């Protein structure tokens, strides 16, 4: 079932009509249209809005600041090649319809270099060039090395796609080298970020915050203060759990050392909380996934359309873990630095009752009017999905103090993200200053923190999604969060069409101090 606008977009842009298989090739078509015929924008301009969801989406797209979202979309953390390679590097996808779609439309990959060239020609001739610096371009160049799966493990379709992919990667890599040379010649190694764009930088940044969180008119100063207060509360809670754990291990801490930094390092050095090997790291995540599958799914408490799976991989250029098409991908790259306290929260967030429960149901349920629009403009659901993921970390059962410590640590990270994102893009803080600030509050390895900070630089406003989304769900669901009564509410909620946080706030008549 499609709305009139969705039917027009399917007809005019030839995008996939299935919400489950809307993918990277459709995004390439949309970007290509943006720099050529502007069919999408014209269709939206000339379409009557029939409901709140349409109105919200339309308001984002017809906003004159929408162009900045397109122009700042191709960099070291987010670009077409990364999205494509995620599928090409994943043998589990080779028998999936998604892979077949990419094969059938493989020639569209040839459009990528021209789109990126067009974007960067605009950037280098405007104030947008100051959004990036030499370090960010160098990072982009580093990420343009993609591994091919051995020929003996792939089929001819894969090889055909790969040849086209690799050819275009080489073209774009040369272009990035030229961009880097331009930055070096002009000594552009200033503090990067949204602050440097132009006199409208604050309004542009607010737009990015809106498109990623799905909330209009965020008061950034109030949100910043809220995050600082939350950080203080959470760190006290972290210290409480940590001191209990340290006492159980007969490790004493003097009063002058009862700081988050000192105590976090003490926890990090407990041998029993480290993983002996890579397999133990994988097995522990599988065990926890099975635990919550038993509690929420097999008991009939939550509805599930497809079974969740865990696939492990090792890649220094990818995140520690994420969900994609029924599967939780667990990166074992840094398992030696990881702590057992993080396992429960990561699994709850990515699988059941988190991303797998919510997003899997949306993608595999009967298609409704508006679903395809939500796939096309999926940024506006980032706060909805990531907020639900973070909220799901509170839905653990029979947890130890170690598990509870991990949950608090994860929420500390998401709270820090608000402070850091606003500091980078609104308050013009130096990335190195931010890296030190985060290292004073987290157990996380320094290299991981550095990657985090440069991720926030690349996608302004996205880091706000987690904690802002959580604060909305904390208002919707209260009381004993794992009670049968609340689980029934979750079951009903995840089967409804997902809404941007702005519309959830309206639907549940929620008041938030930072709005």
DSSP code string of 328-345:
EEEE-TTGGG--GGGHHH
246 and 185 assigned to the same domain: no
229, pLDDT greater than 70: yes
Q: In this predicted model, what pLDDT tens digit does every residue of 113-132 receive, in sequence order?
A: 999 999 999 999 999 999 99
152, pLDDT greater than 90: no
In a domain, 207, yes or no: no
Q: In this predicted model, what pLDDT tens digit does every residue of 57-104 receive, in sequence order?
A: 989 988 999 999 999 999 999 999 999 998 998 888 888 899 999 999
317, pLDDT greater than 70: no
Residue 373 confidence (pLDDT): 92
325, pLDDT greater than 90: no
In a domain, 288, yes or no: yes
In a domain, 272, yes or no: yes
165, pLDDT greater than 80: yes
Considering the entire predicted model, what is its pTM? 0.95
Q: Are the CB atoms for 470 and 390 separated by under 8 Å?
A: yes
365 and 480 assigned to the same domain: yes
* Six-digit token string for 130: 């100051």
226 and 139 assigned to the same domain: no
296 and 432 assigned to the same domain: yes
* Six-digit token string for 472: 């909305």
Treating both helix axes as pointing N-terminal to C-terminal, what angle do 24-34 and 4-13 enclose, rounded to 10 degrees? 80
Mean pLDDT of the chain: 93
120 and 244 assigned to the same domain: no
The strands making up 309-313's β-sheet, listed across from edge to edge, are 309-313, 327-331, 321-324
Q: Are the CB atoms for 196 and 190 separated by under 8 Å?
A: yes
Q: What share of the chain has pLDDT > 90, as a percent?
A: 78
321 and 456 assigned to the same domain: yes
In a domain, 228, yes or no: yes
Residue 156: give the domain boundaries: 4-125+134-189
Residue 445 confidence (pLDDT): 78
State mean pLDDT over 390-404: 97
340 and 465 assigned to the same domain: yes
Q: Measure the CA–CA gap between 447 and 515, rounded to whole angstroms.
A: 34
Q: Measure the CA–CA gap between 297 and 186, rounded to whole angstroms.
A: 58
Output the DSSP codes for 202-248.
HHHHHHHHHHHHT-SS--HHHHHHHHHHHHHHHHHHHHHHHHHHHHH
Residues sharing a CB contact under 8 Å with residue 405, sequence separation 6 or more, in sequence order: 238, 241, 242, 245, 267, 341
Residue 374 confidence (pLDDT): 94
297 and 151 assigned to the same domain: no
Residue 246 confidence (pLDDT): 96
When divided into structural domains, the chain yields a total of 2
Residue 45 confidence (pLDDT): 82
Q: What share of the chain has pLDDT > 70, as a percent?
A: 100
Residue 151 confidence (pLDDT): 83
In a domain, 281, yes or no: yes
Nearest-Å Rg of the Cα atoms of the chain is 23
83 and 146 assigned to the same domain: yes
138, pLDDT greater than 80: yes
Q: In this predicted model, what pLDDT tens digit does every residue of 463-474 receive, in sequence order?
A: 999 999 999 999
In a domain, 195, yes or no: no
183 and 68 assigned to the same domain: yes
315, pLDDT greater than 90: no
271 and 171 assigned to the same domain: no
10 Å CB burial of residue 264 (0-12, 13-18, 19+) is buried
Residue 479 confidence (pLDDT): 96
In a domain, 209, yes or no: no
């Amino acid at each position: 079932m499609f709305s009139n606008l969705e039917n027009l977009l399917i007809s005019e842009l030839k995008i996939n009509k299935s919400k489950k298989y809307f993918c990277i090739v459709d995004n390439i078509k949309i970007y290509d249209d943006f720099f050529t015929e502007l069919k999408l924008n014209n269709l939206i301009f000339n379409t009557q809005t029939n409901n709140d969801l349409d109105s919200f989406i339309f308001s984002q797209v017809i906003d004159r600041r929408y162009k900045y979202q397109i122009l700042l979309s191709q960099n070291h953390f987010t670009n077409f090649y990364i999205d494509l390679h995620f599928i090409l590097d994943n043998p589990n996808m080779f028998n999936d319809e998604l892979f077949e779609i990419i094969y059938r439309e493989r020639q569209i990959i040839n459009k990528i270099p021209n789109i990126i060239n067009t974007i960067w020609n605009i950037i280098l001739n405007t104030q947008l060039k100051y959004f990036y610096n030499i370090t960010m371009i160098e990072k982009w160049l580093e990420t343009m090395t993609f591994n091919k799966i051995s020929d003996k493990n792939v089929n001819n379709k894969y090889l055909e796609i790969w040849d086209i992919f690799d050819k275009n990667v080489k073209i774009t890599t040369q272009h990035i080298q030229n961009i880097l040379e331009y930055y070096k010649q002009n000594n552009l190694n200033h503090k990067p970020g949204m602050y440097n764009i132009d006199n409208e930088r604050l309004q542009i940044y607010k737009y990015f915050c809106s498109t990623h969180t799905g909330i209009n008119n965020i008061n950034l100063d109030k949100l910043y203060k809220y995050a600082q207060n939350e950080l203080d509360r959470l760190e006290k809670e972290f210290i409480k759990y940590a001191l209990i754990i340290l006492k159980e291990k007969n490790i004493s801490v003097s009063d002058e050392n009862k700081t988050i930094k000192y105590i976090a390092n003490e926890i990090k050095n407990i041998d029993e909380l480290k993983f002996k090997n890579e397999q133990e790291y994988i097995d522990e995540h599988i065990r926890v996934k099975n635990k919550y599958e038993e509690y929420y799914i097999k008991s009939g408490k939550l509805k599930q359309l497809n079974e969740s799976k865990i696939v492990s991989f090792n890649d220094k250029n990818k995140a520690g873990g994420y969900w994609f098409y029924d599967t939780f991908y667990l990166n074992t790259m840094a398992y030696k630095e990881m702590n057992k306290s993080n396992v429960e929260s990561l699994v709850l967030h990515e699988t059941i009752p988190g991303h797998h429960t919510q997003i899997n149901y949306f993608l595999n349920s009967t298609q409704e009017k508006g679903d395809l629009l939500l796939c096309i403009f999926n940024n506006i659901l980032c706060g909805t999905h990531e907020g639900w993921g973070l909220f799901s970390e509170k839905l653990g059962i029979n947890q130890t103090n170690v598990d509870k410590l991990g949950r608090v640590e994860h929420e500390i990270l998401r709270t820090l993200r608000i402070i850091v994102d606003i500091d980078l893009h609104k308050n013009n803080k130096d990335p190195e200053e931010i890296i030190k600030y985060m290292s004073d509050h987290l157990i996380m390895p320094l290299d991981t923190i550095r990657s985090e900070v440069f991720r926030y630089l690349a996608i302004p406003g996205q880091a706000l999604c987690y904690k802002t989304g959580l604060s909305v769900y904390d208002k919707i669901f209260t009381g004993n969060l794992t009670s049968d009564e609340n689980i029934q509410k979750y079951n009903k909620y995840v089967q409804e069409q997902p809404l941007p946080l702005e519309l959830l706030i309206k639907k549940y008549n929620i008041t938030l101090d930072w709005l």
